[in-house]
Copies of this chain bind each other. A is one copy, B any other.
Amino acid sequence: MNIAYENLKDRYRLLSNLNGAGSILYMDSMVVMKPGSEADRSEQSMALATAAQKLLTHPEVGDWLDEAEESASALSPADQTNLRLMRRQWISYTAIPETLVRESARLGIEGNNLHTKHRDKGDWNVMRPIYEAAFNTQREIGEILKGALGFATTYEALLDQFSPGLKLSTVEREFAKLEQALPGMIAEATRLQKDAGQVIPLPEVPLAILQVIGNKMLLDMGFDDNRGILYVGDMHPLSGGTPDDSRLTTRYNPKDPLDGLYTVAHECGHSLYEQGTPAAWRYQPAGHSMGMDVHESQSMIMELQACRTPEFMEHLAKEFSAHIQNPAFSAENIAKALFRVEPSFIRIHADELTYPLHIILRFNLERDIIAGKLSVADLPDAWNAGMDKSFGIIPAGPTQGHMQDVHWPTLSVGYFPAYTLGAMGAAQFFAAAVKAHPEIRDELRHGQFKTLRRWLEINVHSKGSLLTQDELFTAATGEPLNAKYFMNSLSRRYLGRDYTA
């Protein structure tokens, strides 16, 4: 028995549970907690992070790692992977000085508060210093991680923080394809859409009916509600918690009946991933879900793939019709309502076809700022130029423009690509699943997800972090993550034909 490795497992289990505690508290703060408790909750989050930092960077952990690695060959391959992940996490933690960790946490809280206060006013002069501090701090962190873990560039180190194993070259290569193809596709889709005629407006659907449909959908997808909770409220949709205590939120709007239900699909996809991570590796680095790129693929495979198939929309039309008789509730009309394309300023309200260009704009800008090729002072102009180039529209001010997202002021530099990579991954996984099990489409026609869910469990969820991102996609789909299936999905959906480059 490798005693050093057993000690490591104990220590990483402890860390995992401190993070789990933090995650439940975060969900509570978004859903339950009162505003007057914010400072108190920040203290708790900081305490959890500090405790984890102190317990992981304790000298004994370095000794255990050295010792465990010496006799690593006697460990099972999976344990060897687990040990490698431990070392990697340890390097990240020990490489960054505690003062920088603290400063980064402090800035994140300050940035979040300032964003909440000033976004709608669009006062860039007030916000610029926090953007500058955020980018400078992340550049500093990225440089340290680049040195410690050997990334090609500082920005790749930042990408890896959110999506471990994601290569900058993958992002650049696949985004280039999208950047090239999408403007033409958007133009064509807009024309086709005009010809197809108006959407019949969906009638108002009472909250109680939306809740019945949403709850059923959640359970049909396979959400285990004995170890998880769906909150309904008016908060920004999110999911979190732990694999065995998975929490998600939705907000239903009677006037926009699809919105809250597709939020359930999205957040439930995240939860299913967490609930399906391997129990045998619970609380170990190898047992955790992967980065945000894979996580978003799991939310989007539900929201953008399974639930936007003609078959599922047929089911959904029946669900609505069981409560309310209205000609708007046909699969075709729901598809029309869901698939409207229109260039717009705000990322989170963008449709599926224009969305990637919002992401690519942010990716280009943040990569250039980190590389020192663009200054934060020049961000507003660069943003507007990018919007003009992608969509031919220019925002009237920062609120509709470069100040709309919370990511940069909260130091989430390197996060944005995960959204579009998630959409790509979702299309790729869904194509592979349907190819292996064509009956998935028939099940969706009856609102059932069993075979799809099972495929995801076997090929994605149960893998935890035992595979690299490349290995995961290759084992599940036969090829590494790429844009082909996403483009095909978009092309069929919006242009009515397979994609041709």
Contact = CB atoms under 8 A, between A and B. Distances in A.
Interface of A: 13-14, 17-18, 20-22, 24-25, 28, 32-37, 39-41, 43-44, 46-48, 50-52, 54-55, 224-229, 242-245, 283
B21 A48 contact: yes
B283 A37 contact: no
B24 A44 contact: yes
B44 A55 contact: no
B245 A33 contact: yes
A499 to B, nearest CB: 43
B227 A17 contact: no
Contact of A242 (B34, B40, B228, B283): B40
3 tightest A-B CB contacts, nearest first: A36-B227, A17-B47, A36-B226
B43 A17 contact: yes
- Taken together, the copies of this chain in the complex come to 2
A44 B32 contact: no
A17 B46 contact: yes
Nearest to A226: B36
Contacts of A21: 21-22, 25, 44, 47-48
A17 to B, nearest CB: 3
Given A18-B51, A37-B228, 9 more contacts: A14-B47, A21-B25, A24-B28, A35-B226, A36-B228, A36-B244, A37-B245, A40-B227, A41-B245
A43 B160 CA distance: 28
Nearest to A18: B47
A228 B44 contact: no
A97 B25 CA distance: 30
Nearest to A225: B34
Contacts of A13: 43, 47
Chain B CB within 10 Å — which of A14, A20, A21, A227 has the most?
A: A21
A34 B230 CA distance: 11
22 contacts: A13-B43, A13-B47, A17-B44, A17-B46, A17-B47, A18-B48, A20-B40, A20-B44, A21-B22, A21-B25, A21-B47, A28-B28, A34-B229, A36-B224, A36-B226, A36-B244, A37-B227, A40-B243, A40-B244, A41-B245, A51-B51, A51-B55
A225 B226 CA distance: 30
B34 A227 contact: yes
A44 B28 CA distance: 15
A232 to B, nearest CB: 14
A243 B229 CA distance: 27
A481 B482 CA distance: 74
A46 B283 CA distance: 13
